[in-house]
Amino acid sequence: MSSPEKLAVVHPAQLEYPLEAPQPGSVTPVAHGIYWLRMPLPFALEHINLWLLADHSGWTLVDCGYATSRVRALWEQVFERVLAGRPVARIIVTHCHPDHIGLAAWLGERFGLQPWMTEPEYLLAHAAYHRTGGTSLGDLQAFYSRHGLEPARFDGISSPEDHYRRGVPQVPQAFNRLRDGEAIEIGGNAWRVIVGRGHSPEHASLYCEDLNVLISGDMVLPRVSTNVSVWPMEPEADPLKQYLGSLERLRVLPPTTLVLPSHGLPFRGLQRRIAGLEAHHADRLERALEVCREPRTAAELLPRLFGRDYKDYQLLFAMGETIAHLNHLMHAARLERSADGSGSYRFTRIPSPGRRHSP
């Protein structure tokens, strides 16, 4: 299961926002040869930012938008008014979430192209589309029940595979592989692929040193924290460790880098934003340890971690993110996990790190 949705607003400290958002169907220039396009989303985030990069004989698109008739109509406007008769020559998909890969097959067929993406994102898109490999609602229900969620809480939640197919009515049947560290030449500039983990398997961000621009995708967003969840297909995973490790790889970029995120406004202040995200997760981990002085399930911890409870689809992401924090502490030997009489997992604080193993 995978999704683009993000839950927590983490207020950024002193970020600089140099640009104003474009109107639907039009673009805002952001740097030499880079144009910003916004597409609406039919859920809480409201929009996704897409990027058009002027290439030698056409355009490179970064991300595709969620497949609604409105987004298709806006693309038609963009083809007519913005692309100035030059074809789309390449499509890059940062990751498999539906607002990013959504119309990739449609755009690809139109221009005779296969998208560029990392292999795990391509494969997970197919698993999510074909409801296999741990991506079904039944898999989620079983997994979250194990983590203490009452079955009744699932009432009214549409299945994630339906959600996925709404946004991605067709998955591309072939792709070109993006590899971590490789440079792609676009319009005379080298763009380096920086793979990030923890939000999706191998999310591709793109960095151009010559232009001092990072297309961060969902890995770093200016206002909301990126969703970092454990999903049923890998129940023992520690995606928070992967995510925090991926932020380290972005922290070394120049402080003046203009960051182009998938949601929100382009900004400068990457290192300050990364520090804010780290502080946010550190605070969540501390809170989890505090609550787990008594044995707790993820479902019991959730409202205390988020300061509220969730219903509907957001509940799935909040559960995934709660388990991510619990698994992280368990793998760091700060919590231990046991099953209670009903078979639910409960997590309990280990009084002092390492004590469990002392003689």
119, 177 Cβ separation under 8 angstroms: yes
CA distances from 7 to 47, 183, 246, 306, 308 (A): 15, 32, 19, 9, 11
CB of 95 to Zn ion, least distance (A): 6
Under rule CB under 5 A, which residues in 215-244 are in contact with Zn ion?
218
Closer residue to Zn ion, CB minimum distance, 5 or 300: 5
CB of 200 to Zn ion, least distance (A): 6
187, 53 Cβ separation under 8 angstroms: yes
* Segment contacting Zn ion by CB under 5 A, of 4-12, 139-147, 162-170, 299-307: 4-12
CB of 124 to Zn ion, least distance (A): 11
* Segment contacting Zn ion by CB under 5 A, of 3-11, 79-87, 106-114, 343-351: 3-11
SS3 32: coil
CB of 218 to Zn ion, least distance (A): 4
CA distances from 3 to 10, 36, 261 (A): 19, 23, 16
4 binds Zn ion (CB under 5 A): yes
CB of 332 to Zn ion, least distance (A): 25
Taking CB under 5 A as the rule, which mask of x and - marks residues 200-219 in contact with Zn ion? ------------------x-
196 binds Zn ion (CB under 5 A): no
Under rule CB under 5 A, which residues in 93-112 are in contact with Zn ion?
97
163 binds Zn ion (CB under 5 A): no
Residue 282 CB neighbours (<10 A): 11
Closer residue to Zn ion, CB minimum distance, 97 or 328: 97
**Close Cβ partners of 181 (under 8 Å, ≥ 6 residues apart):** 192, 193, 194
Single out the residue of 78, 67, 89 nearest to residue 26, CA to CA: 78
Number of chain positions touching Zn ion (CB under 5 A): 3
How far apart CA 16 and CA 86 sit, in angstroms, is 33
Under rule CB under 5 A, which residues in 39-98 are in contact with Zn ion?
97
Single out the residue of 71, 121, 127, 69 nearest to residue 92, CA to CA: 121
Under rule CB under 5 A, which residues in 301-340 are in contact with Zn ion?
none
CA distances from 72 to 62, 104, 209 (A): 16, 11, 33
Residues near Zn ion (CB under 5 A): 4, 97, 218
